[in-house]
Amino acid sequence: EINAHQDRLDLSDLHARKAKEMGVKLALGTDSHHLGQLWMIRLGVGVARRAWLEPSDVLNTYPLEELLALTRKKR
């Protein structure tokens, strides 16, 4: 997860890029506790862009059916 909360901001862009290279899918989250903190998702998007992540690398860009199909896959 790329935690976009302004007090956290982890993973870094370097770690997110390494995760991408290793085939790891990531999600963006804000760890928000109220609506006024949702703006921080922009910080996470910035990290993802600096890491050269594409929509296919970010789980919360997937259409619902595609995301559900991933959860049904046997490992």
pLDDT in tens, 4-45: 999 998 999 999 999 999 999 999 999 999 999 999 999 999
Domain residues for 47?
2-72
Residues 7-37, buried b or exposed e (16+ Cβ, 10 A)?
eebebebeebbebbeeeeebebbbeeeeeee
Task: Report the distance separating Cα 30 and Cα 19, nearest Å.
Answer: 19
Q: Residue type at 26?
A: L
Radius of gyration from C-alpha coordinates of the chain: 13
User: Is residue 75 pLDDT above 80, yes or no?
Assistant: no
Domain count of the fold of the chain: 1
Residue 6 contacts by C-beta under 8 Å, 6 or more apart in sequence?
Answer: 40, 43
pLDDT (tens digit per residue) in 39-68: 999 999 999 999 999 999 999 999 999 999
pTM, to two decimals: 0.87
